[in-house]
């Protein structure tokens, strides 16, 4: 019997490794940007075409590589970061496995140009599918330029799984934000299809956050600064009134590396407890500095998850630091038992001497006497007491003086007046009550219960209204005949650059549902009209929920943006559970639901109602 186990060829092993490292163009962006940062670059530019599917090029002014290093950088497990296993616990750089360039070169066309400052000429290497096509000497500036073209050209199945350009660009933008926020001391620029999306100069951390997420962000930030032996926390949190329905502005950086940690995120949420509305999330941009020996960053292929030695201590410190900042800047109510506001001296009386109060009493004052009381003799002449003049009210008998002389000419004959009989009103309401016989009732302000010939109908009011609104908005989007309610005062809503791009992308569909926009600014959009029935206060919530749905649903090129928009609007504007409905509103909701094409399910395929037959009810009494 022959042996059946054999070693994989290098190009096959590289393609398998690429499946872990490179999932989409955003993965290539992350690896190339981190390599540029590890090369001590101070200026990094990224050029994209077709959301990275055609080209991802990163140019930096870092240290560069020699010809030998440039060739070795594309070999598997070739790295300059570690030499022994102990070095894994002393990592202060980004990449360290030595798999990124080898994996990328296995599934794309790669052109690398690099030159060190001490060299006169640089090196150019061209690789296609792990095969080196050429290596030449070339004239190039100091630093490194890596161009990754035609991603997944030799794996068409993986390429078919890529989403639309809009979705892939959004993922790339997220990776760009994570790297740029962690390194405000480096200048970044990002270009897509010839247009500039970001140009971030070297700045402090606050200005970097503002440059990425818009000028309006500056007034939302509250600084956090706490230093302990275990953990150093710095950065900013968002004020509770600016909380969002999305988690797009939540960033943790551990030793300048972006991470995702539900456990630490819970610490932030607990610090904001009682300050946020249901369904809203706080914003935070926090840098955590810990000893590299106390963390393990090698537990996940994308290195976005980290294992901490003592998570409970970090949780407590982080929660306390955030609560301290909220209290220090009067964001949250604070009890200070060491001070008493009642004892604070007003500024006007700061230098004024205290005086003994003088009390003077008019002992002769009697409010029940008609004439003014006179002071009695004795020693009262030496003391001038204040006098109070009391206006005496006329006696009540004087109110009727003259009525008898005038006779009965001014008196009203009440017997001649006629009044509307009460019985008439009662008959009207009784007849109405008979006509509008109660056929439905609301259960716990959540369900509408009605009778059927075969039994009983129970409708979820929120899910039923979602179905009604979904079909209405879908009809408006298809026919483009929605009615717009003009706003008396236009609303200026602020969003980040990426969120504003989503609104621009959906502008035509939003206008088909009834929205009207007058202009788009750098970080804001001006809304002049809304669909009928949408209150002004709900406009920002509707658009935030829409942005969240677009980011989370990740639609592909075969996806209808109109369908997503109709679902999002229906979910946001539907009647909420806990809302009391009148008898007429309950009946109208049932009538409109069963007039829909698919009344039995919500837009997300959840049941809108259930029925209980007589047989089902009878079985309950047979036990």
Give backbone dihedrals phi and psi of 415, rounded to 5 degrees, phi first.
-70, -25
Question: Closest Cα partner for 393 from 365, 417, 370?
Answer: 370
Domain co-membership, 289 together with 314 = yes
At residue 122, the pLDDT reads 93
Give backbone dihedrals phi and psi of 235, rounded to 5 degrees, phi first.
130, -150
Tokens 């670059």 label which residue? 41
At residue 563, the pLDDT reads 80
SS3 per-residue string spanning 277-304: CCCCECCEEEEEECCHHHEECCCCCCCC
Question: Closest Cα partner for 126 from 144, 105, 141?
Answer: 105
- Could you tell me the pLDDT band of residue 436, with boundaries at 50, 70 and 90? very low
Domain co-membership, 173 together with 297 = no
Is pLDDT above 60 for 225? yes
Instruction: Calculate mean pLDDT across residues 343-350.
Output: 60
Higher pLDDT, 456 or 80: 456
Instruction: Select from 328, 345, 370 the last residue of a domain.
Output: 328
Query: Considering the domain boundaries, does residue 313 fall inside one?
Result: yes
Q: What is the per-residue pLDDT across 3-50, written as a single tens digit (0 to 9) for each?
A: 778 787 776 776 666 656 788 899 999 989 988 998 889 999 999 999
Quote the CA–CA distance of 183 and 168 in Å, as a whole number: 23
- Could you tell me the pLDDT band of residue 403, with boundaries at 50, 70 and 90? low
With b meaning 16 or more CB within 10 Å and e meaning fewer, what string describes 247-282?
Answer: ebbbbbbbbbbbbebeebbebbeebbeebeeeebbb
Q: Are 66 and 210 in contact (CB under 8 A)?
A: no
pLDDT above 70 covers a percentage of the chain that reads 77
Query: Considering the domain boundaries, does residue 138 fall inside one?
Result: yes
Q: Are 146 and 57 in contact (CB under 8 A)?
A: yes
Higher pLDDT, 372 or 293: 293
For the ranges 135-149, 190-204, 375-389, which has the lowest average pLDDT? 375-389
Q: What is the per-residue pLDDT across 551-605, written as a single tens digit (0 to 9) for each?
A: 765 454 445 667 877 888 888 888 888 888 888 888 899 999 999 988 999 988 8
Q: Which residues contact 55 (CB under 8 A, 6 or more apart)?
A: 47, 48, 49, 147, 148, 149
With b meaning 16 or more CB within 10 Å and e meaning fewer, what string describes 432-444?
Answer: eeeeeeeebebee
| Inter-CA distances, 382 with 58, 358, 521, Å | 100, 17, 81
Domain co-membership, 124 together with 260 = no
For the ranges 76-85, 263-272, 294-303, 317-326, which has the lowest average pLDDT? 76-85
Quote the CA–CA distance of 393 and 370 in Å, as a whole number: 9
Q: What is the per-residue pLDDT across 206-220, written as a single tens digit (0 to 9) for each?
A: 999 999 988 888 888
Q: What is the DSSP letter of 243?
A: -
Instruction: Select from 269, 294, 328 the last residue of a domain.
Output: 328
* CATH code, domain with 132: 3.30.565.10
Domain co-membership, 594 together with 569 = yes
Beta strand 609-613 with 55-60 is unpaired
Domain co-membership, 174 together with 215 = no
Domain co-membership, 583 together with 605 = yes
The tally of CA atoms less than 13 A away on the side-chain side of residue 557 is 9
Q: Is 531 exposed, middle or buried (0-12, 13-18, 19+ CB in 10 A)?
A: buried
At residue 556, the pLDDT reads 47
**Looking at the chain, how many residues does it have?**
623
Range of the domain at 281: 205-328
Domain co-membership, 212 together with 127 = no
Range from 344-353, 415-424, 478-487 that averages highest in pLDDT: 478-487
Domain co-membership, 480 together with 566 = yes
Query: Considering the domain boundaries, does residue 412 fall inside one?
Result: no
* CATH code, domain with 276: 3.30.230.10
How many domains are contained in the chain? 3
Query: Considering the domain boundaries, does residue 570 fall inside one?
Result: yes
Q: What is the per-residue pLDDT across 276-314, written as a single tens digit (0 to 9) for each?
A: 888 788 999 999 999 888 877 766 666 677 778 888 899
Query: Considering the domain boundaries, does residue 69 fall inside one?
Result: yes
Quote the CA–CA distance of 212 and 208 in Å, as a whole number: 6
Q: What is the per-residue pLDDT across 501-552, written as a single tens digit (0 to 9) for each?
A: 888 888 888 888 888 888 888 778 899 988 877 887 788 888 887 887 777 6
- Could you tell me the pLDDT band of residue 341, with boundaries at 50, 70 and 90? low
Instruction: Select from 328, 345, 365 the last residue of a domain.
Output: 328
Domain co-membership, 187 together with 284 = no
Quote the CA–CA distance of 300 and 296 in Å, as a whole number: 10
Query: Considering the domain boundaries, does residue 251 fall inside one?
Result: yes
| Radius of gyration for the alpha carbons in the chain, expressed in angstroms and rounded | 38
Q: What is the DSSP letter of 87?
A: G
Q: Which residues contact 315 (CB under 8 A, 6 or more apart)?
A: 263, 264, 266, 267
For the ranges 140-154, 401-415, 538-552, which has the lowest average pLDDT? 401-415
* CATH code, domain with 554: 3.30.1370.100
Give backbone dihedrals phi and psi of 591, rounded to 5 degrees, phi first.
-65, -45
Domain co-membership, 186 together with 219 = no
Quote the CA–CA distance of 242 and 539 in Å, as a whole number: 15
Domain co-membership, 113 together with 224 = no
Give the angle subtended at the CA of 122 by the CAs of 120 and 123, to the nearest 5°.
Answer: 150
Q: What is the DSSP letter of 409?
A: S
Q: What is the largest CA-CA distance in the chain?
A: 140
Question: Closest Cα partner for 165 from 241, 54, 257, 77?
Answer: 54
Quote the CA–CA distance of 261 and 250 in Å, as a whole number: 11
Query: Considering the domain boundaries, does residue 395 fall inside one?
Result: no
The torsion region of residue 332 among left (phi > 0), alpha (psi -120 to 50) and beta comes to beta
For the chain, the average pLDDT equals 80
Domain co-membership, 52 together with 138 = yes
Query: Considering the domain boundaries, does residue 355 fall inside one?
Result: no
Tokens 């909380």 label which residue? 243
């Amino acid at each position: 019997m022959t042996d059946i186990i054999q070693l994989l060829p290098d190009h096959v092993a590289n393609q398998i490794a690429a499946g872990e490292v490179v999932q989409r163009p955003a993965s290539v962006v992350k690896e190339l940007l981190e390599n540029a940062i590890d090369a001590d670059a101070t200026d990094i530019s990224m050029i994209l075409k077709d959301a990275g599917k055609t080209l991802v090029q990163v140019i930096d002014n870092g240290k560069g590589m020699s010809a030998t290093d440039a060739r070795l950088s594309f070999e598997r497990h070739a790295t300059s970061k570690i030499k022994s296993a102990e070095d894994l616990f002393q990592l202060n750089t980004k990449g360290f496995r030595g798999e990124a360039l080898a994996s990328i070169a296995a599934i794309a066309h790669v052109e690398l140009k690099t030159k060190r400052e001490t060299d006169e000429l640089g090196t150019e290497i061209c690789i296609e599918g792990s095969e080196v096509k050429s290596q030449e000497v070339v004239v190039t500036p100091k630093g490194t330029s890596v161009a990754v073209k035609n991603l997944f050209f030799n794996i068409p199945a993986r390429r078919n799984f890529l989403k639309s350009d809009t979705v892939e660009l959004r993922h790339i933008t997220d990776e760009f934000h994570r790297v740029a926020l962690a390194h405000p001391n480096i200048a970044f620029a990002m270009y897509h299809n010839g247009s500039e999306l970001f140009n971030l100069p070297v700045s402090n951390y606050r200005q970097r956050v503002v440059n990425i997420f818009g000028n309006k962000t500056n007034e939302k930030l509250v600084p956090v600064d706490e230093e302990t032996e275990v953990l150093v926390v710095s950065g900013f949190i968002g004020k509770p009134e600016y909380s969002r329905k999305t988690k797009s502005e939540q960033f943790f950086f551990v030793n300048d590396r972006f991470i995702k940690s539900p456990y630490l995120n819970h610490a932030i949420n607990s610090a904001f407890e009682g300050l946020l509305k249901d369904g809203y999330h706080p914003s935070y941009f926090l840098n955590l500095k810990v000893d590299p020996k106390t963390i393990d960053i090698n537990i996940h292929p994308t290195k976005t998850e980290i294992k901490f030695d003592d998570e409970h201590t970090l949780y407590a410190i982080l929660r306390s630091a955030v609560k301290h900042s909220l209290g220090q800047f009067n964001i949250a109510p604070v009890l200070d038992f060491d001070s008493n506001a009642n004892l604070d001296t007003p500024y006007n009386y700061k230098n004024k001497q205290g005086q003994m109060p003088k009390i003077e009493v008019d002992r002769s004052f009697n409010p029940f006497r008609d004439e003014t009381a006179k002071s009695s003799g004795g020693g009262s002449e030496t003391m001038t007491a204040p006098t109070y003049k009391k206006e005496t009210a006329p006696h009540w008998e004087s109110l009727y003086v003259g009525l008898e002389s005038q006779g009965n000419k001014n008196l009203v004959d009440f017997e001649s007046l006629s009044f509307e009989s009460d019985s008439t009103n009662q008959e009207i309401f009784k007849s109405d009550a008979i006509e509008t016989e109660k056929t439905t009732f609301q259960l716990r302000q959540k369900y509408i219960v009605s009778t059927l010939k075969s039994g009983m109908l129970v409708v979820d009011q929120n899910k039923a209204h979602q179905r009604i609104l979904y079909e209405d908005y879908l009809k408006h989007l298809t026919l483009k005949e929605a009615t717009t309610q003009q706003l008396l005062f236009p609303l200026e809503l602020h969003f980040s650059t990426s969120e504003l791009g989503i609104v621009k992308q959906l502008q035509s569909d939003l206008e088909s549902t009834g929205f009207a926009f007058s202009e788009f600014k750098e970080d804001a959009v001006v809304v002049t009209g809304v669909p009928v029935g949408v209150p002004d206060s709900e406009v920002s919530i509707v658009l935030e929920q829409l942005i969240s749905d677009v980011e989370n649903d990740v639609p592909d090129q075969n996806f209808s943006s109109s369908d997503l928009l109709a679902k999002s609007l229906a979910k946001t504007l539907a009647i909420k559970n806990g809302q009391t409905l009148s008898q007429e509103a309950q009946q109208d909701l049932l009538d409109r639901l069963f007039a829909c094409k698919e009344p039995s399910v919500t837009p997300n395929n959840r049941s809108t109602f259930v029925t209980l037959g007589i047989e089902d009810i009878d079985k309950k009494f047979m036990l």
